[in-house]
Structure 1
Amino acid sequence: MNGGEGTSEAEGADPVPLSALQHAVYCLRQAALIHVERMWADNRFTAEGHVMHAVADKGGGRRVRGTRRVMALPLASRTLNLTGVSDVVEFIPDGEGETAFPVEFKRGKPKLHRADEVQLCAQALCLEEMTGRPVPEGALFYGETRRRVVVPFDDELRRLTRDTIAALREVLVSGRTPPPTTQRQRCRACSLLSLCRPDTFARPVRAWRRRMVEASLAEQVPS
């Protein structure tokens, strides 16, 4: 690994998990609930995601038309204090060696937010540090469309990725969970909704209990 002479941006702190960056972009509170408070709950979306990663998680490698393909490759960045495992990294011959091309498997289809892109870009930053060579782009493979979406790692995405890493690192180091997101539409697909916002479920239950009690009392009143 070519770690360079740089030092970690959070010397002595635990590494930031690459997988947590997707949570942090979607909702920083969700990331804290999972990685600080150690809460987790599966729903249909998370279960489908587990199935999508089943093959890549087995690891191993092979060569396809001259391209070396490595599954479940461990990644790390000392300067950004990141660690994790890629789904697939393709090493493409380019005349001067090989250029890394990370591929991340996702369930569903492309999203309006950039959570998937940030997670992929963070893998590229690790690969650049590990190989000492630029990683200009990668791809997201979505299970619903069965197609790759090529993601260029431009300055804007790299800046967003570094900002997300910094924000998540601050949460992990402080141990403080941020308040719920104001983007309530994202809560509907979140498997942690009942843990994050218990009042969302408590109010309907209380209302139902009150109706049942009132109905029971009404039946007891003599006509």
Structure 2
Amino acid sequence: MEYDEDDFLMISGIQHFSFCPRQWALIHIDQVWDENMKTMEGNIIHENCHNPDFIEKRGEILISRGIRIASRTLGVTGQCDVVEFHRDDDGGGRLYGHNGLWLPFPIEYKRGKTKDINADRLQLCCQAMCLEEMLGVSIYQGALYYHETHRREPVELTEPLRQEVRKMLEMMHDYFKRGYIPKVRPKKGCPSCSLKEICLPVICKKKSAQPYYEAMLGSDYV
């Protein structure tokens, strides 16, 4: 199956969906957004990463920023923070304006530090899958760079991780097509969410009205 460009979703939405499907739906379906300190810090960190004019060459490595990527089979589009192209005449692909074959190594920049959930790794894996489709190569590893720790953490792009990306994107496409906004499911991450004043996780948590009616009407309640 291939998606039309009009149906493409943003790759960055994978991180939102992994953290909270309702957050993703409010942002990408209802077009709701609000800034907090964490989102502003993230924007500042990404300013240089998304500068497409900033290209380096270090020996047998080309470093490119802000590459636009897409996949028709996944139905997504987006932008890579940084991609290192390593000279690899066995498993690499061709790059316009450069001799030889080059293998991409995507690097995603994140504020904070590594997380227990797979959100960042899923986003990175999806970027790699797009690059594979565009360049006709196989990418087995990428990295996450966390601003708080100033460390690059390698990520193995395994088949289970790829399957999780595919499954999540199928759900996202289904929700988007139906305009479905998931119900509130409060969790420990809610207080740090930039949309907490819009989502109102405590107020909007669905509760049954039955106990209220039973208390007020007693035996007359039907």
Match of 2:31 in 1: 38
Quick check: 1:87 aligned with 2:81? yes
Residues 136-175 of structure 1 aligned to structure 2 (within 5 Å): 136-175=140-179
Residue 198 of structure 1 and its aligned partner are, at CA, apart by 6.5
Q: Deviations over 1:160-186 (max 9, x none)?
A: 11111111111111111011235x101
Quick check: 1:180 aligned with 2:173? no
Match of 1:14 in 2: 7
Q: Decide whether aligned partners of structure 1 residues 65 and 181 sit closer, same or farther in structure 2, where only a CA change above 3 A counts.
A: farther
Give the Cα–Cα distance (whole angstroms) in 1 for the partners of residues 200 and 81 of structure 2: 32
Deviates more, 1:86-95 or 1:144-153: 86-95
Residue 105 of structure 1 and its aligned partner are, at CA, apart by 0.5
Per the normalisation by structure 1, the TM-score is 0.82
Give the Cα–Cα distance (whole angstroms) in 1 for the partners of residues 111 and 46 of structure 2: 9
Match of 2:71 in 1: 77
- Does structure 1 retain, via aligned residues, the 8 Å contact 2:5–2:75? no
Residue 56 of structure 1 and its aligned partner are, at CA, apart by 1.1
Letter in 2 for 1:67: I
Letter in 2 for 1:36: I
Unaligned runs of 5+ in 1: 1-6, 202-223
Letter in 1 for 2:159: D
- Does structure 1 retain, via aligned residues, the 8 Å contact 2:86–2:103? yes
What SS does the aligned partner of 2:50 have? helix
Residue 34 of structure 1 and its aligned partner are, at CA, apart by 0.2
What SS does the aligned partner of 2:105 have? strand
Structure 1 runs (4+) deviating above 2 angstroms are: 10-13, 198-201
- Does structure 2 retain, via aligned residues, the 8 Å contact 1:13–1:173? no
Residue 122 of structure 1 and its aligned partner are, at CA, apart by 0.4
Letter in 2 for 1:78: R
What SS does the aligned partner of 1:176 have? coil
Letter in 1 for 2:23: Q
Give the Cα–Cα distance (whole angstroms) in 1 for the partners of residues 59 and 185 of structure 2: 46
What SS does the aligned partner of 1:122 have? helix
Q: 2:196 aligns with which of 193, 197, 200?
A: 193
Letter in 2 for 1:190: C
Match of 1:212 in 2: none
What SS does the aligned partner of 2:180 have? coil
The sequence identity of aligned pairs, in percent, is 37
Aligned residues: 193
What SS does the aligned partner of 1:119 have? helix
Residue 200 of structure 1 and its aligned partner are, at CA, apart by 4.6
Match of 2:214 in 1: none
Give the Cα–Cα distance (whole angstroms) in 2 for the partners of residues 52 and 147 of structure 1: 14
Higher-Rg structure is 1
Per the normalisation by structure 2, the TM-score is 0.83
Give the Cα–Cα distance (whole angstroms) in 1 for the partners of residues 71 and 52 of structure 2: 20
Q: Decide whether aligned partners of structure 1 residues 110 and 199 sit closer, same or farther in structure 2, where only a CA change above 3 A counts.
A: closer
- Does structure 2 retain, via aligned residues, the 8 Å contact 1:48–1:107? yes
What SS does the aligned partner of 1:138 have? strand
CA RMSD of aligned residues (A): 1.6
Higher helix fraction (1 or 2): 1
